[in-house]
Amino acid sequence: MIDLTSAIVAAQCQNIELQMRGVRAADALHVTTAVLAGAEMMVSTDDDILKLDRVFTAANGLPLRCVDTDVALTLIV
């Protein structure tokens, strides 16, 4: 669990890519939090999140994977 901070909210508000893609605020906060935390993967069944697969680079320099549960299982085993 990661705290929602003012820095995350500010980063989400400044992310033009999320805005241009019409990503809803709650989803944008999840993506921004994952990026800033250096997450390698977001597991979701939300089609809007899944469309963001490899669009963003996480703080660790790797592309953020946005995948469903079936794909996630193949990547973590």
pLDDT tens series, the chain, 77 aa? 888 999 999 999 999 999 999 999 999 999 999 999 999 999 999 999 999 999 999 999 999 999 999 999 999 87
- Cα(17)–Cα(29) distance, integer angstroms: 13
Domain enclosing residue 11, as ranges: 6-76
- Inside any domain, residue 37: yes
- At 76 the pLDDT is 87
User: Residue 1 falls within a domain, yes or no?
Assistant: no
Dump strand ranges (E) for 1-77.
41-43, 65-67
pTM summary value: 0.87
For the chain, the domain total comes to 1
What's residue 2's pLDDT? Answer: 86
DSSP helix/strand/coil, 33:
helix
Please report whether residue 39 resides in a domain: yes
Output the pLDDT for position 28. Answer: 96
12 part of a folded domain: yes
